[in-house]
């Protein structure tokens, strides 16, 4: 938080300066239009690498896990693959 002293000078805490040094580049990166494309491309490359490596069995088993939401009387239980295809990709 920035506080103004009686003399009109702005006081910035030392931890705040360090925090701004870390956040400023991250904020600039997030607000760029190309960020989502780069992130999507990177995730696709990582997923392709894992799916075609020795970890493929674990990769496919991960997407077969069931994810359940709801209460005791009403539950919606589907595989993670199903949630991604129907919910997130819609």
Position 7 scores a pLDDT of 57
Do 45 and 61 sit in the same domain of this protein?
A: no
Position 6 scores a pLDDT of 52
How many domains are there within the chain?
A: 2
Length of the chain: 90
Expressed as residue numbers, the domain containing 73 is: 55-89
Position 28 scores a pLDDT of 75
Cα separation of 75 and 13, whole Å? Answer: 49
SS3 of 75, please? strand
What tens digit of pLDDT does each residue of 49-86 get?
A: 998 999 999 989 999 999 999 888 899 899 999 988 88
Inside any domain, residue 61: yes
Alpha-helix residue ranges (DSSP H) falling in the chain: 14-31, 35-51, 56-63, 80-83
| Position with higher pLDDT, 68 vs 26 | 68
Cα separation of 73 and 77, whole Å? Answer: 12
Inside any domain, residue 20: yes
| Position with higher pLDDT, 86 vs 33 | 86
Position 31 scores a pLDDT of 76
Position 22 scores a pLDDT of 67
Do 44 and 63 sit in the same domain of this protein?
A: no
């Amino acid at each position: 938080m920035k506080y103004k002293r009686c003399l009109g000078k702005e006081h910035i805490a030392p931890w705040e300066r360090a925090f701004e040094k870390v956040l400023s580049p991250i904020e600039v990166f997030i607000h760029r239009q190309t960020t989502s494309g780069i992130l999507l491309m990177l995730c696709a490359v990582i997923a392709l690498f894992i799916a075609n490596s020795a970890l493929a069995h674990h990769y496919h088993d991960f997407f077969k896990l069931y994810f359940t939401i709801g209460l005791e009387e009403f539950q919606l239980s589907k595989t993670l693959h199903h949630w991604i295809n129907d919910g997130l990709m819609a």
